[in-house]
Amino acid sequence: MKVLFAAPDDIRAEWHAPLTAACPEMELLEEGDPAQFDAIIYSAGGEIEDLSPYVNARLVQSLWAGVERIISNPTLTQPLARMVDPGLAQGMAEFCTGWTMRAHLQMDRYRQDGVWRSTEMPPLASSRAVTILGMGALGQAVAAMLKPIGFDLNGYSASGRAVEGVRMFGRDELAQALARAEILICLLPDTPETRDLLDAEHLAMLPQGAWIINAGRGTLIDEVALCEALARGHLGHAVLDVFRAEPLDPADPLWAAPGVTVTPHIAAATRSESAAAVVAENLRRAMSGRPILHLVDREKGY
C-alpha cells in the first residue's frame, strides 16, 4: 500500500523507522500523485490544504489525539481516525495522578522556612472529591489509576455513560459535577460545546480552594476568569499543560500569575514506539474493509 506521510521534517525523522517496522507492507512516501495514495498519515504541521485529489485514500490517520486542526478542513471526506495510544494514556494518567497527589497532600504548604506546621494534615483520599471532565479513553485511564488510591471519584461526559467506580454526571449535570470537584481534572476535547466552558460562572461553582489540572485543551478555560478566581482566593491553584497558542508566549501573563503552574504540553506525548502499532493496525483494517479503530465523529469533533 502507498501511504503519504504528511508531517513536518522532525516528525517524519522520528516516526519513519517505527512505522515501517510496524507495517513493512507499507510504502511510506513524502510526495507523489495524490490519486496513487491508499492512505494518509497526518501530523499537525503537515497540513494538506486540499484533500479532494486524494480520491483513493481510505483513511486519514492522525498521530495525535486532538484532531481539531484537520477536522475543520472542508475538503476532508475520507475517514479520519484519531490516535489512541496505550503509551499516551499511561502518560496522561501518570501526569494527572502526580498533580492530584500534590494537590491532595497539600505539599506546597510545607515551605522550608523553619515553621513546624504539624497541625496542617491533609484528609485521607476517601474524603477528597476529584472530578474528571471528559471520560473517554484518557479520562478512564486517569480514573483507573486514581481509583485504587481511594479518592471519591466523579466523572462528567456528554453521555453520562456509566464507568465502574466513578459517580457519573451527564450533559445537563455540569453544575453538580463541578460542585463535587475539590480537584478538577480537565480532559475534554476542543469542540464548539467545550470552548470557554469554564467561564466565570462555572468556575464559581467549584468548591472554595479547588485545584484545576487542565491537560485537555487550552480553549476549555476562560483564562481571564481563571486568574481572577485565583486572585480573589476562590481557587487554590491551576496546573495548565495546554494553551490556546503554543508554545506559550514568554510574555504571556500566565507565566507570572499567582497560583498558576505552567507545564509545556507534556502530559500525554504520543510515543512513536507504541503508537506505530496502532497506525499499522488501522491501515490494515482500512485496506481490508474492516472497521477502523478510533474513528472520529465529524459532528462531535472527536
Active site (catalytic) residues = 217, 265
φ, ψ at 16 (rounded to 5°): -60, -50
C-alpha cell at 216: 485537555
Q: Is 100 helix (H, G, I), strand (E, B) or coil?
A: helix
CA–CA distance, 95 with 91 (Å, rounded to integer)? 6
DSSP 44: T
Other residues' Cβ atoms within 10 Å of the Cβ of residue 145: 18
Beta bridge partners, 28, equal 3
Tell me the CA distances in angstroms from 242 to 65, 180, 262, one per residue in order.
13, 23, 9
DSSP 61: E
C-alpha cell at 124: 485521607
CA–CA distance, 249 with 238 (Å, rounded to integer)? 18
Give me the torsion for CA of 48, 52, 53, 56, rounded to 10°.
Answer: 110
Tell me the CA distances in angstroms from 90 to 32, 152, 162, 196, 287, one per residue in order.
37, 21, 21, 27, 29
